[in-house]
Structure 1
Amino acid sequence: MRPSLRLAALLALVAMPALHAEEIGDVNTAFQWIGPDHKIVVDAYDDPKVAGVTCYVSHAKTGGIKGALGIAEDKSEASIACRQVGPVSVKQPLPRQEEVFSERMSLLFKRLRIVRMVDRERNTLVYLTYSDRLVDGSPQNAVTAVAVDRATAIPVK
Structure 2
Amino acid sequence: MPRFAPLLLAALALPASFAATAEEVGCITTAWKLIGANHRVCIYAFDDPEISGVTCHFSQARTGGIKGSFGLAEDPSQFSLACRQIGPINKPAKLPEDKIVFSEDTSLMFKETAIHRSFDEKRNVLVYVAISRKLINGAPANAISTVPIQPWGGK
Quick check: TM above 0.5? yes
Matching residue of 1:32: 33
Relative distance call for 1:11 and 1:100 in structure 2 (3 A) is closer
Matched, 1:82 2:83: yes
Q: How many angstroms does 1:140 deviate by? A: 2.4
How many residues are aligned here? 150
Matching residue of 2:148: 147
Matching residue of 1:10: 9
Q: How many angstroms does 1:7 deviate by? A: 2.4
Counterpart amino acid of 2:75?
A: D
Contact 1:131/1:138 (CA < 8 Å) preserved in 2? no
Counterpart-to-counterpart distance in 1, 2:52 and 2:147: 12
Matching residue of 2:96: 95
Using structure 2 for the length normalisation, give the TM-score: 0.85
Q: How many angstroms does 1:113 deviate by? A: 1.0
Contact 1:124/1:148 (CA < 8 Å) preserved in 2? yes
Matching residue of 1:131: 132
Using structure 1 for the length normalisation, give the TM-score: 0.84
Unaligned runs of 5+ in 1: 152-157
Unaligned runs of 5+ in 2: none
Relative distance call for 1:135 and 1:26 in structure 2 (3 A) is closer
RMSD between superposed Cα atoms in Å? 2.6
